[in-house]
Structure 1
Amino acid sequence: MGKLLHISASPRGEASESLRIARVFTETFQEAHPDDEVEHWDLWDGSLPDFAVGARAKMTVFGGDEPQGAEAEAWEAARRTFERFDSADRLLFSVPMWNASVPYVLKQFIDVVSQPGWIFTVDPATGYGPQLSGRGKRVAVVYTSAVWGPPLGPEFGSDFQSTFFGDWLRWTGLTDIQDIRFHPTLTGDRDEARREADARARDIAKVF
């Protein structure tokens, strides 16, 4: 039995387009894969640990030592977060655009789980080594925005949302990635954009 983990970066509930599209995806996935588990992880639910002490623990690990005391507790909390993320062989992210990039809670998630030996190794001669590659994990990402859209000029903003997040996924070794996009812009046909996004979500989910 496989597992789909939906990781949500939107706090807007029923008003969220990224969550609505993700719901279309997960419902279709469950219909097509009735024996697989589906888990939803709302990054705004308070489960992400603060990483101020964890950042010190990270550098302790980089130095070849074992975190102690408060650092050890912070490191263990980060490890539990990573293990929840790593428990699924199928990952769905719902990512709204905030100020041309991603919501800060998603960056917090990335900073917590991106640790040496878990997500990456680093070699002074060859650089970073991704740790999640070659494990058959697949990723789907729902990207949404209200103002920015691919056909528009820079006066309507820039896309550091998918460029940043896609780069992070590939850096970890997750390269089997499919995007589902909803960018109706301020003057576009929102209903048609929804239909197109929903259709793509269903098509991907059926064979995910």
Structure 2
Amino acid sequence: MTKILHINASPRGPKSQSALLADTYLSARLQREPAVQVDSLNLWSADLPEFDGDKNAAKLSFFGVGEMDAAGKSAWDQVVEVTQRFIEADEYVFNVPMWNGGIPYKLKHYIDVITQPGLLFGFEPERGYFGLLENKTAHVFYSSGVYAPGADKKYGEDFHSAYMDWWFGLVGIKTVVTTRHQPSILTINPDADLEAAVARAKAAA
């Protein structure tokens, strides 16, 4: 059975266009494959641990900086619990609105918690960083109000999908399918553009 983890990075609820695209994809996917299991993670209601000093010290111990003490072990167990849910999925669905040229801070928080040595990536001095995930797929649904790929820089720059693509590579997710609704505001016909994006989301399934 395929297990999909849907990570919702938008706080806008039913008004979110990126979430609409992700939900459209998931509905179409379930129609085609009823046995697919969908696990939904709303980052705006999730109780994510703070990546504080104890967790940072525990992380650095994997690089030979100090040793993991009892406080570090307890902190690390919290990280492992959150990350295991991510590792257990076969496929990921992200809906990611653009915030100030980048990703929402809740998504960055989640990424900072789960992106850990020995869990999602490894490191060797000669080899550098390498991903530990294998045979995973990600579907990403991007939205932005003004920015569009190829637009003049006065409309913003992309530290949005560029960051996500870098991160997917870091952790070993090699198959990434992207669906965009960009821009959603600065367009002649917003309703028609959204309908076209919804159609692309269905087609991605």
Fold shared per TM-score above 0.5:
yes
Partner of 1:49: 49
1:144-159 correspondence runs (5 A): 144-159=143-158
Once residues 68 and 33 of structure 1 are traced to their aligned partners in structure 2, the CA distance between those partners, rounded to angstroms, is: 46
* In structure 1, C-alpha distance between the alignment counterparts of 2:187 and 2:180, rounded to whole Å: 17
How far off its partner does 1:151 sit?
4.0
CA RMSD of aligned residues (A): 1.4
**Following the alignment from structure 2 to structure 1, what is the Cα–Cα distance between the partners of residues 56 and 189?**
45
Displacement, 1:22? 1.0
Misfit runs of 4+, over 3 Å? none
Counterpart code for 1:145 = S
Deviation at residue 64 of structure 1 after TM alignment: 7.2
The residue type paired with residue 14 of structure 1 is P
How many positions carry a matched residue from both structures? 203
Residue 188 of structure 1 corresponds to which residue in structure 2? 188
Per-residue deviation, 1:87: 1.2
* Offset of residue 66 of structure 1: 5.5
1:1-208 mapped onto 2 (5 Å cutoff): 1-52=1-52, 53-63=54-64, 67-132=68-133, 135-184=134-183, 185-205=185-205
Higher deviation after alignment, 77-86 or 184-193: 184-193
Q: TM-score, normalised by structure 2?
A: 0.94
Q: Shift in Å at residue 61 of structure 1? A: 2.6
Q: CA deviation at 1:128?
A: 1.2
Percent of aligned pairs sharing the same letter: 37
Give yes or no for contact 2:136–2:173 (8 Å, CA) kept in 1.
yes
In the superposition, the TM-score normalised over structure 1's length comes to: 0.92
Q: Partners of 2:67 and 2:6 in 1: how far apart? A: 32
Partners in 2 of 1:91 and 1:66 — Cα distance?
A: 34
